[in-house]
Structure 1
Amino acid sequence: MSKIKLLNCIITGVLVIGLVQNAHAHTRLNVPTMTEGTRIINEMIIGDNCAVESSQRIIGTSVVFPDGLDSTILANGQPHEGPLTDFLTNYGNNIQLIFSRAAFEFMDEKTDSSGNVTGFWAGGGPGSPGHLTVATPFRLTAASIEPTSCATSVKIQISIADICQITSAEQFAGGAADGVAKLWTHNNLGTQYDRDSEADDGPAPFTITRDLTNNPLPDSCEDGFVVEVMPSAAQINRDMPITIEGKQVWPSN
């Protein structure tokens, strides 16, 4: 192989590696798409460090699933005023955290007033090495799609904060999060946890697809449409903080 060809191969390889690393830089689900009614062991994958030019470890993570109660629902791109049960028959309490000390020493689920799990947190211990990805495991059940609806899939937008330092919310709100927290959240809810981004590209999507063999679309639906579910600002403000034994430990008060 000539030196020119070898150089081209090396450059191509470096570019491919860079693209792969960038693709995994966000915190995302290991399995982002599931068929309705199925259950798997999934993982939340942290693929980034706290600062672009450092190996500072992420010391904790906070994850919030839309509760479906006061969530924003879009059907075919348009606001839907009805309940989520118009599209999902058994949404709620679909996640269960799996205890694992692979990266974090402590962890627990977050629940609403009815005891339904709305998210989880993990923190303490060695944390997430800056040059490696870390998987936080949990059991995830895909809710079933309402047979009479025209939904072909339902995308659940999961909000996540990867924590670099224990600080007050004022120290990471308004776009000052680098080195303090990585916010994989919506950019337009009006909360102190909003991501500073022109595009609403922060949350980790989890898409439930319709089993068209066992749950075909009604004849009146033609090709059907996509549904999207986002948390309310009230839920993010309630569920994003980490509380241990009744005391809020992040953000610090």
Structure 2
Amino acid sequence: MACAVHGEYILINDEKGKKMYKLSIFAGAVAGVMIAGAAQNTFAHTRLNVPAATEGTRSINYVVIGHACGEDKRVLGTSVVFPNGLDSTILVDGAPHTGPVTDFLTNYGNNAQLLFDRSVFEASDEITDSNGNVVGFWAGGGAGVPNHLNALIPMRLTAARIEPTSCAQSVKVSVSIANICELTGVDGFGEGVVDLWTHNNIGSSYDRVSETDDGPASFTISRDVASNPLPENCGEGVAVEIRPSAAQLDRDMPIRINGQQVWPQP
């Protein structure tokens, strides 16, 4: 069988003779471009591969790096921080909540564990608090990730259980991520240097410069209403969000190796 293109038709020669099929090549090409564009835009931001889970479940998840800091840049490393739940900001249906995270989650903390993998970066490690609980992780070194490719950083992620007496229908955890394309100090941050997938209004050195607060990745924990139904006085329930504090980001976002800070450069 052989084929040749004639305008908007494809002429196919087979054993039964010549047959001409109108395949609308232009429409197909446009569709192909749209599909490719949609695939690229799916991970244009740095996000979690699986952004939601039912409470109490554990799975392998990934931080998906969607691009570098510019066409001629490579991602040299990344730093990922989860709210520690201690001095975090808690919002309930958008309004500040003054109580602890345990008002809504029974086992929050130490829910993410980095998985060892050198397929993207040469080195990596977990970021821990003073009690040894994992609050994030970093990875870096090697050739870096080209701007036009995606990269996956693997971890094991557990969805904490929702407090049975609370009215929480869901709990969204904001995940702060910095993709590093040049090694500088904080005063050198800017376009082409580091992509900050963080809140724009926390007040830390790592706040994203943006008119809209669309930076952080998120992991949303949904209530298992079959085994953990809402209390009768809760109606349809509330949406809870946990954000990191400025103090935590300034403390936990830097990358340290053997106690020495390598990014941002001191």
TM bucket by the smaller chain?
over 0.9
Question: Paired residue for 2:80?
Answer: 63
CA distance in 2 between counterparts of 1:246 and 1:192 reads 20
Q: Is the 8 A contact 1:29 1:45 kept in 2?
A: yes
Per-residue deviation at 1:12?
2.7
Per-residue deviation at 1:2?
6.8
Question: Paired residue for 1:137?
Answer: 154
Question: Paired residue for 2:138?
Answer: 121
Q: Is the 8 A contact 1:98 1:137 kept in 2?
A: yes
Question: Paired residue for 2:111?
Answer: 94
Question: Paired residue for 1:182?
Answer: 195
The one-letter code matched in structure 1 to 2:232 is: D
CA distance in 2 between counterparts of 1:199 and 1:206 reads 19
Question: Paired residue for 2:99?
Answer: 82
Write out aligned runs for 1:192-211 (5 A).
192-211=205-224
Q: 1:20 aligns with which of 36, 39, 46?
A: 39
CA distance in 1 between counterparts of 2:111 and 2:231 reads 26
Per-residue CA deviations over 1:160-193 (Å, capped at 9, x if unaligned) read 0000011111111xxx2x2211110110112221
Correspondence 1:107 to 2:124: yes
2:106 aligns to what SS in structure 1? Answer: coil
Question: Paired residue for 2:265?
Answer: 252
Identity %: 61
The one-letter code matched in structure 2 to 1:76 is: D
Q: Is the 8 A contact 1:170 1:192 kept in 2?
A: no
CA distance in 2 between counterparts of 1:33 and 1:79 reads 23
Correspondence 1:238 to 2:255: no
CA RMSD of aligned residues (A): 1.4
Q: Is the 8 A contact 1:156 1:207 kept in 2?
A: yes
In our comparison, the structure showing a higher alpha carbon Rg is 2
Question: Paired residue for 1:161?
Answer: 178
CA distance in 2 between counterparts of 1:77 and 1:188 reads 14
CA distance in 2 between counterparts of 1:6 and 1:125 reads 42
Per-residue deviation at 1:20?
2.3
1:42 aligns to what SS in structure 2? Answer: strand
1:21 aligns to what SS in structure 2? Answer: helix
Q: 1:30 aligns with which of 46, 49, 52?
A: 49
Q: Is the 8 A contact 1:94 1:117 kept in 2?
A: yes
Per-residue deviation at 1:128?
1.4
Question: Paired residue for 1:227?
Answer: 240
Q: Is the 8 A contact 1:32 1:205 kept in 2?
A: yes
Per-residue CA deviations over 1:193-221 (Å, capped at 9, x if unaligned) read 11111111010010011000000000011
Q: 1:150 aligns with which of 146, 154, 167?
A: 167
CA distance in 2 between counterparts of 1:29 and 1:167 reads 26
Per-residue CA deviations over 1:108-133 (Å, capped at 9, x if unaligned) read 00011111100000000122132221
Per-residue deviation at 1:23?
2.2
CA distance in 1 between counterparts of 2:200 and 2:212 reads 7
CA distance in 2 between counterparts of 1:154 and 1:17 reads 33
The one-letter code matched in structure 1 to 2:26 is: L
Aligned length: 247
Per-residue deviation at 1:138?
0.7
More strand by share: 2
Per-residue deviation at 1:76?
1.4
Gaps spanning 5+ residues in structure 2: where?
1-5, 9-22
Write out aligned runs for 1:43-62 (5 A).
43-51=62-70, 53-54=71-72, 56-62=73-79
